[in-house]
Chains A and B, each alone.
Chain A
């Protein structure tokens, strides 16, 4: 229901926006070109929207029009827009394969001389993601988004289990939870991408970041890796033997049903991105304020070769500037990036929403905020991480992302074996 209203509201918003811009254009008789940008809905995006609102208020002659788009449809829409030369001035991406293609096709411009002092403020491990061949083609615009393990303390107290720290703990906990008819893990398998987080963490814990690096570098037969096979087997085992909630294949993330299952106490834990922290605070405030809402890092694997400090997720969302935009529009975008990105007011409102900007100069500010527990936790997680693995569906070439999703969906439903998955991915 929530989502229905959200979409209806978005629909209304877009319609009225179109009506407004039509009126505005007619009244002024054209002439001035507004820059534009597409952002997403939900999560920490309202803070970005407010940032643009403040910018527009302060810069009457450098307006940026904003449109908010639902996550799943954004990726297809932006590519079509970029391909047809109709892209918004500011192009948002998750970096990885898509950014590489934009740069290779010269659809975005080199930002190296237009980032102001940003580079010195942003964490190096995050900044690197926007680089192509030593030039900056994209700059981070919002919070670091590591994937973390959320839990419901009251469920753990009920059955008398400690929060698991190792994979052995996890296996013991699964048994106890099942005896007490509670699902150990909530999972939005119907949306498939949340299951990718499991695949990423298990692969990394088992074989380290090198296992997947071979896939990114396009090595022949790179999917045929014992760590990837281990991860797939473990996931199928979790699905069949009561690790994931038994309805996991029908649970979807776009309506935040996976988070709701955790908040309701139907499941004990949930592996999800850091943005779910704000989602739970907004949508399930009773649970968020109950003191039972907890978070921790992904368990360690006893004999795993991976560094247990490794994390997966999205370093951030990034802005690039469209090569198809007019010079005037590009200049507005450059100014916005160099003068306004991560300004004090926006950083404060991000922190208040529980989002962590990837900045090295805000430690004091973090300590002062209300959500300092979660922020300090993720700040340490990111700061101490030996490696930050970009989500696989973003890291690979865009045309590989869909088959990856399709094959993973079949793994979740037990329709194919891990060996068949590997074979199918290798044959692409």
Chain B
């Protein structure tokens, strides 16, 4: 029974991964044939290339920023949409729209919105509104966190909505009888009951933003480099604009290592390996 899954995993995950590890020990400019250079790519990327650490710092900012923005908004949105009122169905449809758009379309639309001379800043009469959203080194990272969040909040909201609908109504009824208000109910029933949803959603958010690429690339093209070129973009630019596949593979392996460590750590911290049930009565 496991055979198709193993085959699938092997062909689409394991073999390319091994390939990348092998190339990380080679010098290759895409056109010529690769040659062995031992550890020198690793040495160069980790110790002789300060930008690697800049990019890592940016990646951490992006991952944490994205999480802090997406998680609360998605949770509140999910709880809200799990309600029964009819108008919520209509709102839910609107909230989910970003899920249906391709990231290139979203990127180009936002690029037009952020245009200094023909976009939002030019159209609105607010003098204080900046007009260099995508080129200001201090601003562009937060703009990216917002736009990427805008795209992914609906998906996580959907997860939370499903999670909240699974919580037995009787728990809320009992809490109401005991005199707990809505806020108390949210923190004492909803959040603990959503524990596994929160873990799933958090893992997806953290690992997802760690390897995120498309919207940032479409919106900024990786410039300004020291403000927005997170590791996945650095990997792409190094590999496919500078044609240094060796360095790019080292960056890729570093990303894989961080991603695996992160999701493993989340698993252990959350204790989800213990497989205990949190459903009422179990």
User: What B residues does A413 contact at CB under 8 A?
Assistant: 135, 137, 224
Q: A399-B243, A403-B242, A413-B135 are in contact. Are A105 and B118 (CB under 8 A)?
A: no
User: What B residues does A255 contact at CB under 8 A?
Assistant: 111-112, 115
Partner of B117, one of A82, A249, A266: A266
Q: A107-B31, A399-B242 are in contact. Are A190 and B134 (CB under 8 A)?
A: yes
Partner of A83, one of B31, B105, B115: B31
Q: A403-B242, A415-B137 are in contact. Are A1 and B225 (CB under 8 A)?
A: no
User: What A residues does B244 contact at CB under 8 A?
Assistant: 399
Residue of B nearest to A4 (CB): B108
A276 to B131 CA separation, bound complex (whole angstroms): 25
**B67 close to chain A: CB less than 8 A:** no
**A80 close to chain B: CB less than 8 A:** yes
CB pair B223–A190 under 8 Å, yes or no, is yes
A215 to B192 CA separation, bound complex (whole angstroms): 64
**B104 close to chain A: CB less than 8 A:** yes
B209-231: which residues lie under 8 A (CB-CB) from chain A?
Answer: 221, 223-226
Could you mark each residue 106-123 of chain B with 1 if its beta carbon is under 8 Å from any beta carbon of chain A, else 0? 001101101111100000
Partner of B116, one of A72, A82, A247, A415: A247
A249 to B112 CA separation, bound complex (whole angstroms): 15
CB pair A4–B223 under 8 Å, yes or no, is no
Secondary structure of the B contact surface, majority rule: loop
Residue of B nearest to A76 (CB): B240
A204 to chain B, nearest CB (A): 25
User: What A residues does B242 contact at CB under 8 A?
Assistant: 398-399, 401-403
Residue of A nearest to B241 (CB): A402
**A8 close to chain B: CB less than 8 A:** yes
- Number of A interface residues in the complex (CB < 8 A): 42
User: What B residues does A41 contact at CB under 8 A?
Assistant: none
Partner of A406, one of B133, B135, B137, B225: B225
Q: A107-B31, A413-B224 are in contact. Are A250 and B114 (CB under 8 A)?
A: yes
Q: A409-B224, A415-B226 are in contact. Are A80 and B30 (CB under 8 A)?
A: yes
**B237 close to chain A: CB less than 8 A:** yes
B113 to chain A, nearest CB (A): 11
User: What A residues does B105 contact at CB under 8 A?
Assistant: 4, 7-8
A366-415: which residues lie under 8 A (CB-CB) from chain B?
Answer: 398-399, 401-403, 405-406, 409-410, 413, 415
**B35 close to chain A: CB less than 8 A:** no
B73-124: which residues lie under 8 A (CB-CB) from chain A?
Answer: 104-105, 108-109, 111-112, 114-118
Could you mark each residue 263-300 of chain A with 1 if its beta carbon is under 8 Å from any beta carbon of chain B, else 0? 00010000000000000000000000000000000000
**A102 close to chain B: CB less than 8 A:** yes
**A252 close to chain B: CB less than 8 A:** yes
Chain B interface: which size bin? 20 to 34
**A101 close to chain B: CB less than 8 A:** yes
User: What B residues does A401 contact at CB under 8 A?
Assistant: 241-242
**B132 close to chain A: CB less than 8 A:** yes
A222-275: which residues lie under 8 A (CB-CB) from chain B?
Answer: 245, 247, 249-252, 255, 257, 260-261, 266
**B261 close to chain A: CB less than 8 A:** no
A4 to B113 CA separation, bound complex (whole angstroms): 12
A350 to chain B, nearest CB (A): 29
User: What A residues does B241 contact at CB under 8 A?
Assistant: 75-76, 401-402
CB pair A192–B31 under 8 Å, yes or no, is no
B5-20: which residues lie under 8 A (CB-CB) from chain A?
Answer: none
**B32 close to chain A: CB less than 8 A:** yes
A249 to B115 CA separation, bound complex (whole angstroms): 11
**B29 close to chain A: CB less than 8 A:** yes
CB pair B117–A257 under 8 Å, yes or no, is yes
A410 to B54 CA separation, bound complex (whole angstroms): 15
User: What B residues does A247 contact at CB under 8 A?
Assistant: 116-117, 131-132
CB pair B116–A250 under 8 Å, yes or no, is yes
CB pair B32–A105 under 8 Å, yes or no, is yes
Residue of A nearest to B107 (CB): A4
User: What A residues does B118 contact at CB under 8 A?
Assistant: 257, 260
Q: A257-B117, A406-B225, A415-B226 are in contact. Are A3 and B135 (CB under 8 A)?
A: no
User: What B residues does A252 contact at CB under 8 A?
Assistant: 111
A405 to B222 CA separation, bound complex (whole angstroms): 11
A105 to B115 CA separation, bound complex (whole angstroms): 42
Q: Besides the contacts A80-B30, A83-B30, A250-B135, what 10 more A-B pairs have beta carbons closer than 8 Å? A: A4-B108, A4-B112, A72-B221, A75-B241, A247-B117, A250-B132, A251-B117, A255-B115, A399-B243, A410-B224
A-B contact pairs, 26 of them (CB 8 A): A1-B112, A4-B105, A4-B109, A72-B221, A76-B240, A79-B243, A80-B30, A80-B240, A105-B32, A190-B135, A190-B221, A247-B116, A247-B117, A249-B132, A250-B115, A250-B131, A250-B132, A250-B133, A250-B134, A255-B115, A399-B244, A401-B242, A402-B241, A406-B223, A409-B223, A415-B224
Nearest first, the 10 A-B pairs at minimum CB distance are A247-B116, A83-B30, A249-B135, A402-B242, A250-B116, A402-B241, A76-B240, A250-B135, A4-B108, A105-B31
